[in-house]
Amino acid sequence: MSETASSETQTALAATAKQLAYARKLAEQQNVVLPWDIQQDRRAMSQWIDTQRSAPRVRDTQPSSKQVAFAERIARIKRSPVPDECFRDRSLMSRWIDSNEP
């Protein structure tokens, strides 16, 4: 190994607390593991964060609690149940709400 390569390895700065907090949040949102070795190097952490930010987001397909509450309110008014499949998919719930709004 050359002198410059070994000195770079020795002088690698640790990731900052802000970087670690943000990276953990991204890892949780994207449902990925934050590698230990990445957490030890500020530059590697920065590159990992940039990669995760540009990655497509993992979307939750479950309907929101507000959607469910609104659909149940409409169902009570209309005296008809909300179909079970609507509770598994946000877009189905949205369509059901749109077609049944009073």
Structure tokens that stand for 84 in this block: 């079970």
Name residue, tokens 């964060």: 49
Residue 59 lies in a domain: no
Same domain, residue pair 70 and 35: no
Task: Give me the tens of pLDDT residue by residue for the chain, a chain 102 residues long.
Answer: 455 544 455 577 888 899 999 999 988 888 888 888 888 899 999 999 998 888 776 667 888 899 999 999 999 999 999 999 999 888 999 999 999 987
Same domain, residue pair 76 and 48: no
Residue 5 lies in a domain: no
Residue 2 lies in a domain: no
Same domain, residue pair 49 and 70: no
Domain count, the chain: 2
Instruction: List Cβ neighbours of 94 (8 Å cut-off, separation of 6 or more).
Output: 63, 67
Nearest to 28 by CA among 57, 66, 51: 57
pTM: 0.48
- Structural domain for 90, as ranges: 65-100
Three-point CA angle 82, 85, 88, nearest 5°: 110
Residue 6 lies in a domain: no
Same domain, residue pair 49 and 75: no
Residue 32 lies in a domain: yes
Same domain, residue pair 73 and 43: no
pLDDT at residue 10, as a whole number? 59
Same domain, residue pair 47 and 16: yes
CA–CA distance, 8 with 14 (Å, rounded to integer): 13
